[in-house]
Amino acid sequence: MSMLLLPSLVPSERSLYNVVLLLFGGLIFWVYRAWRKQSHVPGPFLASVSNIPRLLWARSGGAHKTHINLHEKYGPLVRLGPNSVSVGDPREISKMYGIRSSFGKSDYYKVLQPMSKGKIIQGLFNTQNDQLHRSMKKPIAGIYSMSNLVSFEPYVDSTIGFFLERLENAQGKGNGKIDLGTWLQWFAFDVMGEITFSKRLGFLDEAKDVDGIMGSIWKMFQYSCWVGQMPWLDRIWVKNTFVSRLLPEKNSPVVMFALARAQERIAEKLHGSGSQDVSSGYNSKDFMSRFLDARAKDPRIPEWFVTAWTTSNVLAGSDTTAIMLRAIIYFLITNPATLRKLEHELRQAQSKGQLSEIVTWKESRNLKYLDACVKEAGRLHPAIGLTLERVVPRGGATICGQFFEQGTNIGMNPWVIHRDKEVFGADAAEWNPDRWLDPDTERVARMDNSLLTFGSGSRTCIGKNISYLEIYKLIPTMFARYEVSLGFVVDSLWCQGSLDLTQFRLNCGTRNENGRLRTRGWWSRATFASG
């Protein structure tokens, strides 16, 4: 009986063998095809055949470190994926990101587009459509100029004063420990609320994450950080029409918040209150009013533009500012020599009557060492820790002497560019604000032009002046008001897993004309977005 069955088994085994051979051959062909596309670019072999390695780098929170190490090993061009290349030469910035650059944004930015009521909301930062970007930016670009933003100073001053008051009150309670990193983020959100909606969003008042907005933004950035390395995952998990019908509807808290504020303002205007009624509490020149005015002047502007504009303000403006504030404070207190230089500059300005209790934007322009510290913090710890990914346009492009076909994803990581020794010096990886005070103006200009802290070219972050307005007012105000020193450091390393920088205590003494009034201990746990 077994002899009769044996012949029938042989063809089956042979068929299975053929299937395995075919699959193996297909795998070899797929690997070779993926590897061959950018085979002229060096990099880890696994990254040349799959996007999984770069997804894992981003997921770990340490992609910025990995990219730095890869460029140190392989040079100015590094292959991060089958169709993804990282560029580490600042000389190529204008070609890839310049005003006249035709390099468009990659599909990574689709992952950053939030959804509301089943619809994708594109914004100034995340849209891939350059024409749409121009249409969205043109009606409101003037609002973000620094010459216009200084008119918002009274509202920023109000929030700074309240922030310092709340810090001192909160520190006096319980065990005397506060999470300064979180409080700085609450401050940034409330400033944005003040200038966008004419009222604080309530973070400082309630000392908590109002409506879970901060948490939702953090989750969105964490998600986009790693899923953006393989954007098709987002199309399957989140932006899939079929899947969305099966799952409970999820709306972005930030988008819903912006929609609610816009509807409130429209209702106020319809009922005849609003900007002309002092009791309404609204400022006729806040961002929301100007957004609505821009739409009223041009009927072609769709209603959703107002939602996109306000969402962009809350989303991008607040988080980036908070990261910068934390970085500046951290680097200053962990480098006492530079902190003393800043304090000396502030004392001198105070003695000459050139510093208000809450420092004005105009006064900050004369604080050269402060300016150097802000630039150095933005250089050494930019908010973005991944490549600012672009797509090579039609006809291809030559970068660093290598030709890339159209459709290639190519980008620069600010962490890599900002550590270029040819531009920033042999100590490019070190904190040194004095580099920005170099009498060689050409060198300083070259360093300035190599900064990607807020992006570059036509897609530069439109809200960077808002961040600068807050930073150049709050930092000198805090360090002129308090004597700050490092109490102790728990961990001075960048913790890749949790994306936390460090934990430290600030010994703060409040000053008056006679010197220190009292000593306080502020506990700061500064959280940084590495991705």
DSSP H or E stretch at residue 67: helix 63-74
**155 pLDDT above the threshold of 60:** yes
**275 pLDDT above the threshold of 90:** no
End-to-end CA distance of the chain: 66
Residue 462 to residue 406: CA distance in whole angstroms:
28
Of 2-6, 176-180, 221-225, 271-275, the poorest mean pLDDT is in: 2-6
Place of tokens 């901060």: 214
Residue 451 to residue 440: CA distance in whole angstroms:
17
Q: Which of 228 and 509 is assigned the larger pLDDT?
A: 228
Q: pLDDT tens for residues 195-244?
A: 988 888 899 999 899 888 888 888 888 899 999 999 999 988 888 777 66
Would you say 461 is a known binding-site residue? yes
Tokens of 96: 């890839």
Quick check: 158 and 356 in contact, CB under 8 A? no
DSSP H or E stretch at residue 322: helix 318-333
β 84-87/77-81 pair status: antiparallel
Q: pLDDT tens for residues 108-137?
A: 999 988 777 677 888 888 888 888 989 999
Q: Which of 328 and 200 is assigned the larger pLDDT?
A: 328
From residue 515, alpha-carbon distances to 207, 231, 509, 519 in Å are 30, 56, 9, 11
Cα 484 from chain centroid (whole Å): 27
Quick check: 472 and 297 in contact, CB under 8 A? no
The count of C-alpha atoms lying within 13 angstroms of the C-alpha of 340, restricted to the half-sphere facing its C-beta, is 3
